[in-house]
A and B are shown apart, each in its own frame.
Chain A
Amino acid sequence: MGYVVYIGAANVDITGFATGDLIPRNSNPGKIRLYSGGGARNSAECYARLGGEVKFIGAIGDDAFGQKLVQDSQAVGIDMSHCLTVPGAMSSAYIALMDEERDMAVALSDVELEQRLTPEFMAAKLPVLCGARAVVLGSGLPMETLEFVTQNCRVPLWIDTSSVSRGLAIRPILGRFHTVKCNLLEAMAVTGETAQDIAALQRMARAILAMGCRRVLITCGARGAFCADGESTGMHPAIPVRRVQSATGAGDSFFAGVLLWRERGYSIQQSVRFGMAVANLTIRSPLPVNPDLNLEEVLALAF
């Protein structure tokens, strides 16, 4: 078994939990917690926690946040040795406020540092990329970096469109990816589709495959995920959850699950099912990555 490479966002998530009503334009009392986060890094963490071999390439500042990101990631088994450390820079951060019901009231992200992952930097990493079983690109990477990697790296490329705006921005090069994962809203935006029924999902999947992709995964929340590739086309139901703690991280963990099980050589049906089980365990945890995630539990839930 070889390794996969994730390239994209790593940031420190600083989350404030209000202990009473949140009053705007005011300093509210609460508790503040710090986690290592970032969509690409979180997905890589799930992949590593389930036993996969993964190298992460991201831009990190030479500050205490950067040290935390590297330490936390290495502790779960991610190879961080190919990251770009930017001297004198502050690591990327994401700050969020949760109200008493633990719903996100407001959030803000500073992703300036990710722009340092230039084509020149990636050129030096091509040997690492080309030796991988698959390369996952974050949709927030600079456009010219996405262009460069998709033109120069001949291993299967995977991408999560991650947001409607990024999905639209990378639409012109979407056909260069082997596997594209998007949620329903992103798929609708990318294809111009307005309906959400099964026939519409089929049309959206066909349109994305027509761009040149080999596989498309459209996640539809509690409905499940629609998957289309050379093997099969159809809806895969989600595994029901009694109590959702936080839906954050569901997409990233599903992505990691499908990728890992596919790399282990299982069918796409089994891989999507495996991904569903990882997502299920993720949303039962209040954190974007369930710290108790393990292969045994995923297998027991999936099959």
Chain B
Amino acid sequence: MHSDFEDTAKNPKYGAPITKREAEILAIIRKNPMISHQELADMLGITRSAASVHLTNLTKKGKIKGRGYILEQPNYATIIGAANMDINGFSFEPMVAGSSNPGRISLVPGGEARNLAENLARLGINAKLMAPIGGDMFGEKIVADCRALGIDTSDCLLLPNASTSLFMAFINSGGDMAMGLSDMRIEDNITPEYVQRKSGILAGSKVIVLGSGLPPETLQYVLENFPQKEIIMDVGAVGKCKRFVHLLDRMCTLQLNRIEAEFISGISIVTAQDAIRAAKHISKMGPKRVFITLGVKGCAVVTPSEEGFFHTRARRPVSTTGVGQAYTAGIVYGAIYDLSLTETVQFAMACSTLTLQSESAVNRALNLQAVEQVVLDNQEY
């Protein structure tokens, strides 16, 4: 280890929270630990000396362990849920039922848990995906694609004799989904026993995210066995709410859209005040933090110490697919880097804004800089 680096443990800054710029630098050097000060400065558009100062501070805070930039064992998020192949058929003309329509077919890796993991990887966060993968061509493609994105798939549940989760969508010439069908029977294999075998991974995570399509006994197992962990429930569809309402009292963080929040609270949500009221109502049922997103309007947040509604700058949405997972990615980011509630919500809203502007469920242009830019735009507004 180089002598420039002090004995970090004696430093008063050790363990202090890092800035957003520092988080950005960590993401860069995690990918390229041998990067020079000058290269780093060029990437960030700052001077070489400024880059050096950041690196020194990161060393003092204990985030960089040594020259050659050996990083602190990074915090990671574990995401348990679905990874599937989305088979999308786009019709050239208005679709005719009962007939074969000419169009274009594309295959894209999807699934709520996988989409969330992709968002996290794009934000530079270590994401461990625990999803069931079948022994077919789709499973192979999903795993290869995840690896290329930097998602850790080493703890996925490989089931050679099962079919990988698939989702088919028929998209009309106008852009809306005419009909969809999903085959996600493989998700039933995410049993408490499998999770138990992976308890070391869960115990070492800073954040755990649970997909609502998991068997209820698995949700219960994780909530009961890791009560000290930051566990975020990612609700994929209102139809799945009844699978976990009986577990609300054990939940830590719950993120809902308007329809899901109405279903659970029984409160009809029109205004920001309604959303706060529903969030408070739901938080009394158990979850410490409740986030209710109202699309482009913003979101309501209730925690034991704070409550409020965060407005966002209205932008015309291109596609709402995947917007929930983008918001969740923001909450996970905040938890990983110990951001304040306000910073977390601003970050999460910026992630969803970027996803709203993308046709696909994950915006391939998502990265820290893009998110920071949207956060700034929203503040100016």
Tell me whether B98 is interfacial, beta carbon within 8 Å. Answer: yes
Asked if A95 meets B170 with Cβ closer than 8 Å, knowing A30-B183, A108-B100, the reply is: yes
CB of B167 closer than 8 Å to a CB of A: yes
Q: Which residues of A are found within 8 Å of B168, using beta-carbon distances?
A: 14, 16, 32, 95, 97
**Interface members, chain B 76-99 (any A CB < 8 Å):** 87, 89, 91, 95, 97-99
Chain B, range 31-75, C-beta contacts under 8 Å to A: none
- Mark interface residues in B163-203 (1 if CB within 8 Å of A CB, else 0): 10011111000001111111111000000000000000000
| Residue A152 at the chain B interface, CB threshold 8 Å | no
Return chain B residues, CB-CB under 8 Å to A24.
Answer: 178-179
Q: C-beta contact mask, A108-131 vs B, less than 8 Å → 1, else 0?
A: 111110000000000000000000
Cβ A107 vs Cβ B100 within 8 A: yes
The B-contacting residues of A in range 52-69, CB under 8 angstroms, are 64-65, 67-68
Q: How far is the CB of B242 from chain A (nearest CB, A)?
A: 15
Q: How far is the CA of A22 from the CA of B182 in the complex (A)?
A: 12
Query: Is the Cβ of A111 less than 8 Å from the Cβ of B102?
Result: yes
Q: Is B141 at the interface (CB under 8 A from chain A)?
A: yes
Contact assessment for B177 and A97 in the assembled complex, using a CB-CB cutoff below 8 Å: no
> Which of chain A's residues have a CB closer than 8 A to the CB of B102?
108-111
B6 at the interface (CB under 8 A from A): no
Does A106 interact with chain B (Cβ within 8 Å)? yes
Alpha-carbon distance between A109 and B91 when the two chains are bound, in angstroms: 9
Q: Which residues of B contact A111 (CB under 8 A)?
A: 102
The answer on a CB contact under 8 Å between B178 and A25 is: yes
- Proximity string of chain B (94-136) to chain A, C-beta cutoff 8 Å, 1 when within and 0 when not: 0101111111111100000000000000000000000000000
Interface residues of B in 220-271 (CB under 8 A from A): 237
Q: Does chain B have a CB within 8 A of A50?
A: no
- Among B95, B137, B184, the residue within 8 A (CB) of A108 is B95
* Contact in complex: A14, B87 (CB < 8 Å): yes
Q: Which residue of B lies closest to A17 (CB)?
A: B181
A90 at the interface (CB under 8 A from B): yes
Is the C-beta of B140 less than 8 angstroms from some C-beta in chain A? Answer: yes
Known: A107-B99, A109-B100. A32 touches B105 (CB 8 A): no
In the complex, how many angstroms separate the beta carbon of A120 from the nearest chain B beta carbon?
25
- Do residues B170 and A106 form an inter-chain contact, with CB atoms below 8 A? yes
Additional A-B contact list (16), CB under 8 Å, known A29-B182, A97-B179, A110-B89: A16-B183, A18-B181, A25-B179, A27-B167, A27-B180, A30-B183, A31-B183, A31-B185, A32-B168, A32-B183, A93-B105, A105-B97, A106-B97, A108-B100, A109-B103, A112-B104
What are 21 A-B residue pairs whose CB atoms fall within 8 Å in the complex?
Answer: A16-B168, A16-B183, A18-B181, A24-B178, A25-B179, A26-B180, A27-B169, A27-B237, A28-B181, A29-B181, A30-B182, A32-B163, A32-B168, A32-B181, A64-B137, A95-B89, A96-B100, A103-B98, A106-B95, A108-B103, A109-B101
